[in-house]
A = this chain, B = another copy of it.
Amino acid sequence: MVTAPSESQRNRRPSMLDVAQAAGVSKAAVSKVIRNAYGVSPEMRRKVELAIETLGYRPSVAARSMRGASFTIGFEIPQLGNDFFTQVMQGAADELAGSGYQLIIAPAMGEVKGAPVLDALVDRQVDGFVAISPEVEPEWLERLGKTIPIVLLGRHDKSTNYDTVTNDDAAGARLVMDHLIELGHRDIAHLTIHAYPQAAENLVPHEIRRRVYAESMSRKGLDARVTYSGPLEPDAYQAAFRLLSEPNRPTAVFAANDTLAIGALRARTELGLTAEELSIVGYDNIDLAAHPIVSLTTVDQFGRESGAKAIRLLLDRIQGRTEARHEMITPELRVRASSRFATMQLF
Chain A interface residues (CB < 8 Å from chain B): 1-13, 56, 58-63, 65-66, 68-72, 80-81, 83, 86-87, 89-90, 93-94, 96-107, 109-110, 117, 119-120, 122-125, 127-128, 143, 146-148, 233, 262, 265-266, 269-270, 287-288, 291-294, 318-320, 322
Contact = CB atoms under 8 A, between A and B. Distances in A.
For the complex formed by this chain, how many copies does it contain in all? 2
Contacts of A61: 62, 123-125
A107 B106 CA distance: 11
B147 A11 contact: yes
- What's the dominant secondary structure at chain A's contact region? loop
B68 A66 contact: no
A71 B3 CA distance: 10
A83 B259 CA distance: 13
A107 B105 contact: yes
A102 B80 contact: no
Contacts of A320: 5-6, 8
Given A10-B148, A293-B294, 4 more contacts: A61-B125, A80-B86, A80-B90, A266-B291
A5 B319 contact: yes
Contacts of A148: 10
A311 B327 CA distance: 39
6 contacts: A2-B99, A58-B123, A61-B125, A96-B109, A124-B124, A269-B292
Contacts of A8: 320, 322
Contact of A124 (B6, B11, B72, B83): B72
Contacts of A125: 60-62
B107 A93 contact: yes
Q: What 10 pairs between A and B have smallest CB-CB spacing?
A: A97-B110, A2-B100, A6-B320, A62-B62, A105-B105, A269-B292, A104-B104, A5-B318, A61-B123, A102-B120
